[in-house]
Amino acid sequence: MNSPFDEKIADLQGLVKKLQSQKNTLLKELDTVEERFEKMNQMYRKSFPIIIDSVATGEDVFSNTCRDLSQALKKGESEGRIAYILDQLKTAILKEEFVLPGGKQKKGLLSIFKKKDPFSFIDDYKQSYHEVVNTLRSNLDEKYTGKLDHITAGIKTAENPSDISEIRETVFSLIFGYISDTNQDRAKVNAFVQEVVGKILDIESNLDVGYQHTDTLLQSSDHFESVLESELKRLKQTSDMASNLDLLKIQVAERLAVIENALQKKQAKDKAIREYIEKERQLFKSGFTKLKQDLDEATRYSEELEKKLNLDQLTGAFNRRAYDKKIEDEMARFFRYGTGFSLLLMDADRFKSINDQYGHAIGDKCLQEIIKRTLPLLRQNDMLSRYGGEEFVVVMPETDLNGGREVAEKIRQTIEKLEFIYKKEKVKVTVSIGVSQAREGDKHPKEVFERADIAVYQAKANGRNQVIVN
């Protein structure tokens, strides 16, 4: 008959075989992914230069930069060199005019804001919102296609800033809906929303420049009217002086009447234009103020959602979603810079018995107190997360196994002092903690976690309420 110790050894050996099998499977999957990546990389480096060469037909900055990119890809130059050329290409697209295949000239993105006449900013405004809609189309799900088509139709028929104001409101309504509905990574959502609203803010700012340009032209027109009125007075004086020449006086008087009539019509028309522009300016100012408020509200709303999505509602600690992102970031730093980190996996001992014997209210209170007592023992850059059920994970950047063990022992000693009173009966809770760290040869964060999980298993098997390092 096997002893309990032999049974534990057998269990551990079975677990080791299982982990070894998982490791071999992961290594095979990794080899497959790396092989696929290498094939895709080779394909891109062969195909992209062909496409780029077909576009780079001119002698402008855009075409020259395209040729540089093509050569860099063909030569297999470094990622840093290619990234630098791509930045130059982006600048050329934004600022320069370039020639497309077929001889068609394409304006740089930023050139659309250059004003040519007092009312051209309306067309520029519409074109800019088309750019915003295209950005939304390339990033949002298909379910937003109908709304984006509606916005596009509105842009085509827009004739004045009032119409554009309605388009802006519709765009913001769509963005708020996207923020509420999406399940994507909140950091990426925030970056995308800030990019879109930043573009809208630029558009609205350039509309104000359009108004200022119109004012300048109207002021020039006012100067012309002043000069013309002065000349009219001088012409009248000349006609009065020639009173003995009746024929000349009649001819001059007729011309004066024609000029004065035309001037009155021009003044009336300019007055109507000025009143219209002032009305639209006031509408724009109020809309622009609301735009800034909407931007702030959108940012706050997204940040609040991000915070809620990353917190465990019961304990207030970070949740599994936040842990997954944190451990990926730390693993990336470890791969790139060799910066190590430790991981503490805590499991409340006999927690199911506490729930069964005293009820879930006491069980929830135990979990909340574990978080409350653990947080003060951690540094600001450490992360404490509820992994699931009664399991908690602490990620400690730039900490070795000794540092992780010391913190784990402090946590264990603090938690074992906890007591709750339930119907005059003392309820105590303890934790078993496994400690591991990233080490050379690790390929995935799961390897660090699994070592800590094995250490917790050993702590439980050894009698619980202890710290084991693996």
pLDDT tens, residue by residue, 275-311: 776 776 676 667 667 766 776 777 777 777 777 888 9
48 confidence band (pLDDT: 50, 70, 90)? confident
Taking 70 as the threshold, does the pLDDT of residue 259 lie above it?
A: no
Q: Give me the mean pLDDT over the 28-39 stretch.
A: 78
Taking 60 as the threshold, does the pLDDT of residue 167 lie above it?
A: yes
What's residue 32's pLDDT? Answer: 80
Its pTM surpasses 0.85: no
Q: Give me the mean pLDDT over the 218-244 stretch.
A: 55
Q: Tell me the β-bridge partners of 434.
A: 345, 468
Q: Give me the mean pLDDT over the 185-200 stretch.
A: 70
CA proximity to 374, closest of 414, 320, 335, 401: 414
Q: Are strands 391-397 and 425-428 parallel, antiparallel or unpaired?
A: unpaired
The alpha carbon dihedral of 437, 440, 445, 449 has a sign of negative
44 confidence band (pLDDT: 50, 70, 90)? low
438 confidence band (pLDDT: 50, 70, 90)? very high
Residues 6+ apart with CB under 8 A from 142: none
What's residue 332's pLDDT? Answer: 93
Structural domain 320-469, CATH architecture: 2-Layer Sandwich (3.30)
CA distances from 137 to 156, 171, 187 (A): 17, 12, 19
Instruction: Report the alpha-carbon distance of residue 414 to residue 374 in Å, rounded.
Output: 8
Name the residue with tokens 């109020």.
Answer: 286
Taking 70 as the threshold, does the pLDDT of residue 168 lie above it?
A: yes
CA distances from 56 to 6, 65, 100, 424 (A): 73, 8, 8, 83
Per-residue model confidence as pLDDT tens digits over 65-124? 888 888 888 787 777 777 777 777 766 665 555 454 455 555 544 443 344 444 456 777
Instruction: Report the alpha-carbon distance of residue 291 to residue 328 in Å, rounded.
Output: 36
CA distances from 201 to 16, 93, 245, 291, 373 (A): 58, 20, 66, 8, 46
Amino acid identity of 100?
L
141 confidence band (pLDDT: 50, 70, 90)? confident
What's residue 118's pLDDT? Answer: 45
Taking 60 as the threshold, does the pLDDT of residue 361 lie above it?
A: yes
Looking at the chain, which residues constitute the CATH 3.30.70.270 domain(s)? 320-469
- Rounded to 5 degrees, φ, ψ at 97 are -95, 140
